[in-house]
Structure 1
Amino acid sequence: MVSCVAKVYTPEILELFQAEYEKSLNCFIYIHGKVGHVIEYKIHRDRSNERTILFDSATEMVTCISKKFEFMGIQCCHVLKVLDHRNIKFLPPQYILTRWTRDAKFDVVHDICSSSIQVDMCLLY
C-alpha cells in the first residue's frame, strides 16, 4: 500500500503515512460484531489501547473512533489494518486528500469576510 501512495503523496505526508502503516503491522485485529453490511472490528497493539473500527462492505467505507483522518487528513494505523485485513491493497481515493498530493499547487480559501483568496498550499504546510 505504501508503494502506491508514494507516487501521490508529498514526501512529508508519505513519511507520516508510512509511520502509520508500520504501526498497523504491529496491531491485532478481530471481528467484534456484524449488522448487515457493517462489520465492527476491534484493533489493538495492547489491550489497554483498543479501538473500534466500522467497515461497510457495501461501500468499502472505513470509520475509526480516533478520527485521525478527519483531523489530520491521513488514515490511522487502525484503518490501515482493516484495509489490509480485507485484502484492499490500494488506498481508496476518498482517503487521499488533494491538498497532500504532489499535484496540489494552489487552492481557493475564504477569509473571514468570505472573500476568495488563491493560496499556494505548499506554503501552508
Structure 2
Amino acid sequence: MSFALFIGVNNHLQSRLLGCALLSNESMHTFIWLTKTWLRAMGGKPPNAIITDQDRAMKAAIKESWSKQQFEDKWHEMVEIFQLMEDGWISSLYEESEHWAPVYMKDTFFGGLSTTQRSDINAFFDKYVCKKTTLKQFVEKYKVALLDREEAEKQADFNTWHKQPDLRTLSLFEKQMSMIYTHAIFKEFQVEVLGLSGCHIVEERKDNLVTTFKIFNFEKNKEFIVEYDVSKEETSCLCHLFEYNGYLCRHSLMTLQTVGVFVVPSHYILRRWTKNVRIKQNQRKMKDVCSSKERYDCLYQKAIELLVEG
C-alpha cells in the first residue's frame, strides 16, 4: 500500500509528522480525499505552501536561478542540449513552473523544507519500515518512530536551553541571535554572519527615505541589490533569503551595518525559530482548550517539563 506523509519542520529544523495515510491506490479521487481529510484533521487551517517531490534532473536547471529571466534562459538551454523540444512531459512541467521553480516562489516562506537535503520526505520512516513490513508490524514501528522523534526534539530543546553555542566573530548580530534562536537555526544564521567578510557594499542611489545598495558576494561571484527603508527599518534583498527561510541574509546584514543598525530588528525575528516558541504555544493552548482530553494532554506536557526542569 502507498504510504502518504505530511511532514513539517520544528524550530530545530527537525522533521515533524503532521499526518499520514495508507492508500489503496494513487488515483485523483484518493488524493482529493486524502488532502481534504488531512485538512479537516488540522482544524481546517491549510499551510502557506505544500512541497512535493519533483524529478531530480530538474535541479541542474533551477539550483542557482536568481531571476525569472535567468531561469527561462537556463531552462531553454537544457531543453536544447538534450533535444527535449517535443517532449510532452517537459512541456507540461514548464507550463507549471510557477508551482515548482524556486525563482517564482522566493516571497513564500518554506522554513528550509525546499532544500535538496529534504527533497525525500519519505525518509521520515526509513529506519523503521520497508516494503515488506506488515500492517501489524507497521503499527508498532509507527509508535517507535514517533517516540524517537519526540525524544530527539526534547534533546534539542535541552541543548538549546542549557548549552551556549560558540561565537565565531565579534558581530553584535551573532551575539544577539545566539540568545534567541535555537542552535539549529543559529548555525544557519551564523553562516550568513561569517559571510559578511566576503561581501563588498557600494551605495547605488538614494531616493527620499529609500537607499539602494549594490553588494558583491565574492563567495557566489554574484552581485545583489538591496533596498533599505529608513522609516520602517526594512531591508529587501534580491536573494529573498528571509522571505524563503525566515532569517536575514548576509547582504541585508551588511546593509543594516552600513546604515548604523547593529542588532536584528524585531520584525525580522520569526517566533517559530526561537527557543521559547513551544512554551508560548502551550500557554496559548491552555487558554483555548475545549475538551477534557486536550486539557489533560496540556497539563501532562507541562508536568513533564516541570519534572525535567526539577
Q: Which TM-score bucket, shorter chain as reference?
A: 0.7 to 0.9
Which of the numbers 10, 35, 42 marks the counterpart of 2:207?
35
Instruction: Give the Å deviation of 1:65.
Output: 1.1
Match of 2:246 among 51, 54, 73: 73
Q: Are 1:18 and 2:190 an aligned pair?
A: yes
**Partner residue, 1:88:** 261
Structure 1 residue 54 and structure 2 residue 227: aligned?
yes
Which amino acid in the other structure matches residue 246 of structure 2? G
- Secondary structure at the aligned position of 1:33 is classed as strand
SS of residue paired to 2:252: helix
Question: What amino acid does structure 2 have at the position aligned with 1:14?
Answer: F
Higher helix proportion: 2
| Number of residue equivalences | 108
- Residue 276 of structure 2 corresponds to residue 103 of structure 1: yes
Output the amino acid matched with 1:35.
D
Q: Deviations over 1:59-101 (max 9, x none)?
A: 1110001111011001111001111112211100000000000
Q: Aligned partners of 1:55 and 1:25: how far apart in 2?
A: 20
Residue of structure 2 equivalent to 1:45? 217
Equivalent position to 2:237, from 50, 61, 64: 64
Q: Give yes or no for contact 2:217–2:224 (8 Å, CA) kept in 1.
A: no
1:78 is paired with a residue whose SS is helix
For residue 54 of structure 1, give the secondary structure of its aligned residue in structure 2: strand
When residues 38 and 101 of structure 1 are mapped into structure 2, their CA distance, relative to the original with a 3 A threshold, is: same
| Contact 1:25/1:81 (<8 A) preserved | no
Which residue is 2:110 aligned to?
none
Structure 1 stretches of 4+ with a deviation exceeding 3 A read none
8 Å contact from structure 2 (residues 225, 238) kept in 1:
yes
Q: CA RMSD in A?
A: 1.7
Q: Aligned residues: percent identity? A: 28
Letter in 2 for 1:94: H
Given that 1:40 and 1:54 are in contact with CA atoms closer than 8 Å, whether structure 2 keeps it comes out as yes
**Cα deviation, residue 48, structure 1:** 4.4
The CA distance in 2 between the partners of 1:98 and 1:57, in whole Å, is: 24
Larger strand percent: 1
5+ long unaligned stretches in structure 1: 109-125
